């Protein structure tokens, strides 16, 4: 019997139970991929991460990210939550206020944006507009006539591919009751395992955008994800590409349909980089036996 350190972190929330939980397994160099997958299936969370010694001299650490169904080269809330858990454990960054994570997409930079908030640099993304003829199928799958087709629905792949769809309003986003089977057919045709649906809040609302992420199979699993860093990074890239970025800094609320209330902060800096940040809090600490 072996044991390793373990934390469960709530990501994109400053208080427990309002964000997206992440299991983080420390000192995982002795685990192989099959063992990691078995642990991820057992935790039954959207993602479980495994901290490893880096193989790139520029990196502070290496991480492997698993869903219950497979390994991802990148995911957002695991990136932020793993960095937070590592820092909470007493790790001191090689460069003050900066971390370099090694993962399947390469090196991802994180920086401290505030006293209690770190952010990761959104990785590059491939953007592919959804063919117009798929619009009718998407409308039927979502069961809504409130899709804003002026912002073309698009697949955005930053290591975790999402189909992004804009609604006319945040209220339209929250009101959706999609047909799961029909939606899965649309996302399969688009080459993704999920759809990220977003809509703008009115001025003075709780955030600039509301988002919901519906997972439709494959490595993502199924169901609704509480708060999704990769989808918010994809949204930032898409807003930039479509000329719809509201400001240099803006916020997204996610998880309301699941009685959560995650908050994601997005910042475009003067160097052209996009930072995806939010608060985290440790909920469980202990040891994992295998």
CB of 111 closer than 8 Å to CB of 97:
yes
Average pLDDT, the chain: 96
What lies within 8 Å, CB to CB, of 120 at 6+ separation is 76, 79, 80, 83, 101, 108, 109, 110, 229, 233, 275, 276, 277
47 is catalytic: yes
CA–CA distance, 173 with 20 (Å, rounded to integer) = 19
Q: What is the pLDDT of residue 1?
A: 80
Q: What is the pLDDT of residue 218?
A: 85
Residue 116 has pLDDT above 80, yes or no: no
Residue 85 has pLDDT above 80, yes or no: yes
Q: What is the pLDDT of residue 221?
A: 83
CA–CA distance, 58 with 94 (Å, rounded to integer) = 10
Q: What is the pLDDT of residue 114?
A: 79
Per annotation, catalytic residue among 47, 88, 145, 210: 47
Read off the pLDDT of residues 92-108 as tens digits, 9 standing for 90 and up: 999 999 999 999 999 99
Residue 7 has pLDDT above 80, yes or no: yes
Q: What is the pLDDT of residue 285?
A: 97
DSSP 258: G
What lies within 8 Å, CB to CB, of 270 at 6+ separation is none
């Amino acid at each position: 019997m072996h044991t390793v350190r373990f934390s469960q972190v709530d990501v994109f929330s400053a208080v427990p139970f309002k964000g997206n939980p992440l299991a983080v397994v420390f000192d995982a160099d002795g685990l192989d991929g099959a063992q990691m997958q078995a642990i991820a299936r057992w935790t039954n969370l959207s993602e479980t991460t495994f901290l490893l010694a880096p193989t790139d001299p520029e990196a502070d650490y290496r991480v492997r990210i698993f869903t219950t169904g497979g390994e991802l080269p990148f995911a957002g809330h695991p990136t932020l939550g793993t960095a937070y858990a590592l820092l909470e454990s007493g790790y001191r960054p090689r460069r003050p206020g900066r971390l370099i994570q090694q993962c399947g997409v390469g090196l991802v930079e994180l920086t401290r944006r505030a006293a209690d908030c770190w952010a990761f640099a959104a990785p590059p993304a491939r953007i592919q507009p959804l063919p117009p003829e798929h619009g009718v199928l998407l409308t039927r799958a979502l069961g809504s006539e409130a899709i804003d087709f002026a912002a073309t629905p698009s697949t955005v792949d930053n290591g975790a591919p999402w189909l992004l769809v804009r609604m006319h309003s945040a209220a339209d986003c929250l009101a959706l009751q999609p047909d799961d089977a029909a939606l899965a057919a649309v996302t399969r045709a688009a080459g993704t395992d999920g759809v990220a649906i977003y809509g703008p809040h009115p001025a003075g609302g709780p955030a600039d955008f509301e988002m919901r992420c519906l997972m439709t199979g494959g490595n993502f699993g199924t169901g609704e994800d509480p708060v999704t860093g990769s989808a918010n990074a994809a949204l930032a890239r898409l807003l930039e590409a479509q000329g719809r970025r509201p400001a240099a800094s803006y916020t997204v609320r996610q998880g309301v349909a699941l009685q959560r209330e995650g908050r994601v902060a997005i910042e475009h800096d003067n160097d052209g980089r996009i930072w995806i940040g939010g608060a985290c809090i440790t909920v469980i600490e202990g040891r994992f036996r295998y």
